[in-house]
Structure 1
Amino acid sequence: MRLTNWTDYSLRVLMYCAACAQRDQPATISEIAEAHGISRSHLTKIVMTLSGMGLLETTRGRGGGLRLLKPAKDIVLGDVVRQTETDFTQVECFDAEHNSCRLDGYCRLKGALQQAMASYLQVLDGVTLADLVAPMAQPQGARLGQPMRVVPGLPRLALL
């Protein structure tokens, strides 16, 4: 199971905003684009979508930026993934309109993959945005003696 770049970037925007929630100045699209090496114009589209989903408040002008509309502890990862992913079709037989598999009706792969997807989403339903940005003693993947990548204005979290 693989997330699209759209969902990946959506989660990065939300995590960045959650990590910046206590700052006086809100996070900006330019700041997030630079921190993650993502196109500013692409992030603008994502931010507009997240705003339309009721997750982000956007303010234009000087002192403007992005803030979460609800607390990070109330944003469930499974909900965000369901809303940002456009296609959960893993194999051809998931799509009744385009299914030409000769094993359809006899094969148990479809059921196994549907069960795996349901389990995948169930795990994500147990994770909130706050869980993703909670300070950690040592970020996953970090090695002793290896410097962490620090983004100005963000607390030292799991940004490697």
Structure 2
Amino acid sequence: MRLTMYTDFSLRVLIYLGTKEPDKLTTIQEISEAYSISKNHLTKVTFELGKAGFIHTVRGRGGGIRLADLPQNINVGTVVRKMEDDFHLVECFDPTTNRCPISPVCGLRGVLGKALHAYLAVLDEYTLEDLMFNKEGLREILKT
């Protein structure tokens, strides 16, 4: 399983925000500079993170973003499920586009489905707080 860059950037934004004081606003520009990621990409990511309820956004002068909840309450598996556009590991996972002739008798879909379930189950065991076990090291590298 490979996460999209979109989900990768989403997790990075959450980690960055998790290193900040809970009430402190951060700008997309700050995160863009810390990770050397396009501000345009991060704008789209933060919009979706806001829609999904992971961050609060404050518009206007002096605005910014911050986590909507404490890091220990943000589940990594939930973030990945909300930010990934699909989990179609192979063609037969999507019944609307599946044209594989062996689908009715092939065991691959079941095996990969089980693997995907296990992958997500592992992610469900972790929170944003767990990803930031070395918060001081993150702050030093990210200059937060």
TM-score normalised by length of structure 1: 0.81
For the 8 Å contact 1:25–1:63, the answer to whether it is kept is: no
One-letter amino acid of the structure 2 residue matched with residue 10 of structure 1? S
One-letter amino acid of the structure 2 residue matched with residue 151 of structure 1? L
| Structure possessing the higher radius of gyration over alpha carbons | 1
- Distance in 1 (CA, whole Å) between partners of 2:53 and 2:133 is 22
Who is 1:105 aligned against?
104
Which structure 2 residues correspond to residues 48-63 of structure 1 after superposition, within 5 A? Answer: 48-63=47-62
SS of 1:123's partner is helix
Who is 1:67 aligned against?
66
Structure possessing the higher relative contact order (Cα contacts under 8 Å, 6 or more residues apart) = 2
Which structure 2 residues correspond to residues 2-151 of structure 1 after superposition, within 5 A? Answer: 2-21=2-21, 25-135=24-134, 150-151=141-142
- Distance in 2 (CA, whole Å) between partners of 1:55 and 1:3 is 18
SS of 1:150's partner is helix
- Distance in 2 (CA, whole Å) between partners of 1:38 and 1:136 is 21
For the 8 Å contact 1:21–1:68, the answer to whether it is kept is: no
- Distance in 2 (CA, whole Å) between partners of 1:26 and 1:136 is 18
- Unmatched tracts of structure 2, length 5 or more: none
For the 8 Å contact 1:30–1:40, the answer to whether it is kept is: yes
Q: Measured at CA, do residues 92 and 21 of structure 1 come closer, stay the same or move farther in structure 2, by a change above 3 Å?
A: same
TM-score normalised by length of structure 2: 0.90
Of Structure 1 and Structure 2, the greater helix share is in: 2
Residue correspondences, number: 143
One-letter amino acid of the structure 1 residue matched with residue 19 of structure 2? A
Offset from partner CA, 1:83-112 (integer Å, 9 cap, x none): 110111011111212222221121111100
CA RMSD of aligned residues (A): 2.1
- Distance in 1 (CA, whole Å) between partners of 2:79 and 2:93 is 22
Deviates more, 1:129-138 or 1:114-123: 129-138
Q: How much does 1:60 deviate?
A: 3.1
Q: Measured at CA, do residues 82 and 130 of structure 1 come closer, stay the same or move farther in structure 2, by a change above 3 Å?
A: same
- Distance in 1 (CA, whole Å) between partners of 2:137 and 2:42 is 29
Q: Measured at CA, do residues 71 and 85 of structure 1 come closer, stay the same or move farther in structure 2, by a change above 3 Å?
A: same
Offset from partner CA, 1:42-99 (integer Å, 9 cap, x none): 2111111111111111123454321111111010011111111011101111121222
One-letter amino acid of the structure 2 residue matched with residue 39 of structure 1? S
